[in-house]
């Protein structure tokens, strides 16, 4: 959406603050021995407690065979995104755990993700997670009025190259605000100057996904989980941002 009124912006801010707080609670729960289902239960409870609604639960995008069955996506190691949280997914020392959550508040939708290592993790895991966090920061900074959506992905490419990390192909960010996903799609392997022009008030979910090796992905048998084809590990960070006259307001922090 393009947010123009103060009321729209106030609702988006409130939605973003709620989501940021819930994600903080969930991040603290990522420890060896905890399960993905524990996080999902906590996510749904916290969202309802805050007067919002879980927007992923029962979401059925065009082309999906089944509605998404949980509030939270939990994707571990070689899983990239849209991992379905189950009680049999018990976190182990060193697991790279990506949590992705969306909610609506008063009809306004926000979306954000964080990646946390269960325990200390190895040096390569920390490099992957830190590099992906940096890619998000640079991608957000590249989203400016008068620029193009391709500039966002171009920033992701730049950071990935610097750290010798791969870019997950085919997945990316999107506009948001009045629905879970809105157009345009924001590719992470973007090129400067390509794509749509960025306007003041545009609300975007920017979400780089980086990986240890090649970027090809496959869809798992559950019809939801995207995994790295070569079994390498991936990380994912996402924030919902409002494009302002002179920069960006990160709504989900
Ligand atoms: N944050 C996810 C995305 O932008 C949304 C997942 S919807 C779900 O793709 F239904 F898969 F959970
Ligand atoms: Co998203």
**How many angstroms does the Cα of residue 82 sit away from the middle of ligand 1?**
6
Pocket lining for ligand 1, CB < 6 angstroms: 56, 59, 68, 73, 82, 100, 102, 111, 180, 205
- Of the listed ligands, the closest to the CA of 73 is 1
Mean pLDDT of 137-164: 98
Locate tokens 């190259």: which residue?
Answer: 161
In this predicted model, what pLDDT tens digit does every residue of 90-120 receive, in sequence order?
999 999 999 999 999 999 999 999 999 999 9
In this predicted model, what pLDDT tens digit does every residue of 55-85 receive, in sequence order?
999 999 999 999 999 999 999 999 999 999 9
Which pLDDT does position 225 carry in this prediction? 98
pTM to 2 decimals? Answer: 0.98
Q: Which residues surround ligand 2, an ion (CB under 5 A)?
A: 111, 205
Whether residue 239 contacts residue 100, with contact meaning beta carbons closer than 8 Å, is answered with no
Which pLDDT does position 140 carry in this prediction? 99
Instruction: Give the nearest ligand 1 atom to 61 CA.
Output: 10
- 60 vs 73: CA distance, rounded Å: 14
Mean pLDDT of 15-44: 99
């Amino acid at each position: 959406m393009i947010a123009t009124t103060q009321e729209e912006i106030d609702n988006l801010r409130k939605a973003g603050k709620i989501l940021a707080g819930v994600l903080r609670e969930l991040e603290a729960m990522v420890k060896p021995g905890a399960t993905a289902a524990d996080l999902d239960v906590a996510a749904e409870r916290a969202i309802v407690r805050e007067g919002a609604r879980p927007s992923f639960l029962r979401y059925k995008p065009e082309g999906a065979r089944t509605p998404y069955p949980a509030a939270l996506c939990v994707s571990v190691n070689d899983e990239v995104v849209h991992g379905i949280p189950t009680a049999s997914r018990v976190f182990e020392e060193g697991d790279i755990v990506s949590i992705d959550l969306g909610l609506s508040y008063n009809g306004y939708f926000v979306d954000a993700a964080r990646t946390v290592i269960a325990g200390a993790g190895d040096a390569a895991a920390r490099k992957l997670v830190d590099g992906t966090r940096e890619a998000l920061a640079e991608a957000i900074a590249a989203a400016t009025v008068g620029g193009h959506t391709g500039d966002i992905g171009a920033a992701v490419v730049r950071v990935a190259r610097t750290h010798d990390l791969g870019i997950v192909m085919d997945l990316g960010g999107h506009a948001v605000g009045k629905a879970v996903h809105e157009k345009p799609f924001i590719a992470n392997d973007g090129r400067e100057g390509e794509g749509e022009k960025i306007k003041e008030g545009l609300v975007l979910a920017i979400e780089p996904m980086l990986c240890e090796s090649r970027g090809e992905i496959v869809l798992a048998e559950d019809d939801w989980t995207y995994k790295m084809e070569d079994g390498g590990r991936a990380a994912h960070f996402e924030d919902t941002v409002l494009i302002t006259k002179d920069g960006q307001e990160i709504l989900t922090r």
